[in-house]
Amino acid sequence: MLVTTVLLGSCNKESYYHTMSLQYPDRVSIVYADQTRDSVAFWTTDNFQIVSGAEWLVVPDSMKQGYIQNQYRYVWSVVSLLIVEPNVTGHSRTAQLSIHCMGNDEWNQTATVTYRQLHWLDITSPSPNYAYNDGVITDAAFQLTDSATQVSDSLCFRVHGNWELTDGSFVHPVVQSGEAGRQTVALTLDANPSTDERQEKIVLTSNGVSTPVTIKQTGRKKVEE
């Protein structure tokens, strides 16, 4: 859970300076809905406490506080794994993580970082169509558009757990389940015999989180008599 290493060098052992510097994330970490792990990394010369402001972002007990025996004033690099609960709420959520570094009565410093967990999966193709509210992304929709005679397409995504993909009436994934990681799934399509456009949804699920993908297929061109 904890990786602690000496960072390159130190100051003169006679100097008793204090320092703290956040390394990751850079103010905000974006977490996908099925993600179960993230981290925080920082440098410090002093004892620290890590406090989460939300129940879904969990700091392991072994990392909630640290005591650094720092006779020579080394700068220590601290990396803490964080446990994230999958987001099945249907909306994005935000948590604040505070790192309190305590040197002495005269020096204390707190850094606060934000973890924003989206409520959809990390689908990279098709590209997401975002909805915004006051400049903040609040939702994402995914749509593939195919011609009436097109018989193949693909879906690309990265998931953090085992996944499943539903079958459709005219869209058929070649593979419908798999393990965590980056995936490209080929889709076979039935040609559209009608002049009317049609569409349906297939649903990708990972770690209990489901995200629909719309497949829109254009109609055949009308033949002039």
pLDDT band at 1 (very low <50, low <70, confident <90, very high): very low
Q: What is the number of domains present in the chain?
A: 2
Q: Which amino acid is at 172?
A: H
Residues 81, 13: contact at Cβ < 8 Å? Answer: no
Residues 159-184, mean pLDDT to the nearest whole number: 98
Residues 97-109, mean pLDDT to the nearest whole number: 82
Per-residue pLDDT tens for 211-221? 999 999 999 98
Higher pLDDT residue, 38 or 67? 38
In a domain, 191, yes or no: yes
- pLDDT of 156 reads 98
CA distance readout (Å), 60 to 19, 65, 218, 225 = 24, 10, 51, 72
108 and 130, same structural domain?
no
pLDDT band at 144 (very low <50, low <70, confident <90, very high): very high
CA distance readout (Å), 173 to 74, 120, 164, 186, 201 = 55, 20, 10, 6, 12
Cα(189)–Cα(215) distance, integer angstroms = 10
In a domain, 225, yes or no: no
26 and 40, same structural domain?
yes
Q: Which of 134, 154, 122 shows the shortest CA–CA distance to 31? A: 122
pTM of the model: 0.85
Structure tokens at 77: 């690099």
Cα of 165 vs its chain's centroid, Å:
20
Q: Which amino acid is at 104?
A: N
- pLDDT of 10 reads 34
Structure tokens at 94: 């935000």
| Candidate from 77-81, 106-110, 128-132 with smallest mean pLDDT | 106-110
Percent of the chain with pLDDT over 90: 71
Per-residue pLDDT tens for 51-97? 999 999 999 998 899 887 766 566 778 888 899 999 999 999 999 99
- pLDDT of 4 reads 35
Higher pLDDT residue, 26 or 181? 181
- Look at the chain and count its residues: 225
- pLDDT of 104 reads 67
| Number of Cβ atoms within 10 Å of the Cβ of 21 | 14
Cα(52)–Cα(75) distance, integer angstroms = 24
Percent of the chain with pLDDT over 70: 87
Left (φ > 0), alpha (ψ -120 to 50) or beta: where does 156 sit?
Answer: beta
- pLDDT of 89 reads 96
In a domain, 205, yes or no: yes
- pLDDT of 46 reads 86
**Residue 74 sits in a domain of what CATH number?**
2.60.40.10
Residues 185-210, mean pLDDT to the nearest whole number: 97
Domain that holds residue 174: 122-217
Residues 147, 116: contact at Cβ < 8 Å? Answer: no
Burial of 139 (0-12, 13-18, 19+ CB in 10 A): middle
131 and 186, same structural domain?
yes
In a domain, 31, yes or no: yes
- pLDDT of 70 reads 62
- Domain end, chosen from 61, 84, 117, is at 117
